[in-house]
Amino acid sequence: MRQSKLTKAARGRECQVRIPGVCNGNPETTVLAHYRMAGTCGAGIKPNDLQGAWACSDCHDACDGRRSDIGRDEARQYHAEGVMRTQVLLLRMGLVSV
């Protein structure tokens, strides 16, 4: 599978989801975690990479519902905030523009 420049940009970056008590703080595990929202994805269709947050493996697991120690709504809020933080960094890096 071919990775986009936004997916590749997540490598080695600080987690932007930052769920307290969950985030492992290890940039070696960071990936672009897509925020899933009705109307932007579906069966077999991932959201656009602009709807992604740099997330460590543990925060990514929480966002995708693979952890039971955080509620779904709380994880979605942290994920959404992480998407916004990631977008700011991508703008600063010149990887996206408005």
CATH no. for residue 85? 3.30.50.20
Output the pLDDT for position 22: 96
Output the pLDDT for position 33: 94
**Residue of 34, 51, 53, 70 marked active site:** 34
Establish if 21 belongs to a structural domain: yes
Establish if 97 belongs to a structural domain: no
The phi-psi region of residue 75 (left if phi > 0; otherwise alpha if psi is between -120 and 50; otherwise beta) is alpha
Handedness of CA 61, 62, 63, 64 (dihedral sign): positive
In tens, the pLDDT along 41-89 reads 666 767 678 889 999 999 999 999 998 889 999 999 999 999 999 999 9
With a pLDDT cut of 70, the percent of the chain lying above it is 89
Establish if 18 belongs to a structural domain: yes
Establish if 58 belongs to a structural domain: yes
**What's the domain count of the chain?**
1
Question: Per-residue pLDDT for 38 more than 80?
Answer: no
Name which of 16-20, 24-28, 65-69, 83-87 the model is least confident about.
Answer: 65-69
- The amino acid occupying position 59 is C
Q: What do you get for the CA distance between the two ends of the chain, in Å?
A: 28
- Residue 4: how many other CB atoms lie within 10 Å: 12
Domain span at residue 31 reads 5-91
Establish if 98 belongs to a structural domain: no
Establish if 62 belongs to a structural domain: yes
Output the pLDDT for position 82: 97
34 is catalytic: yes
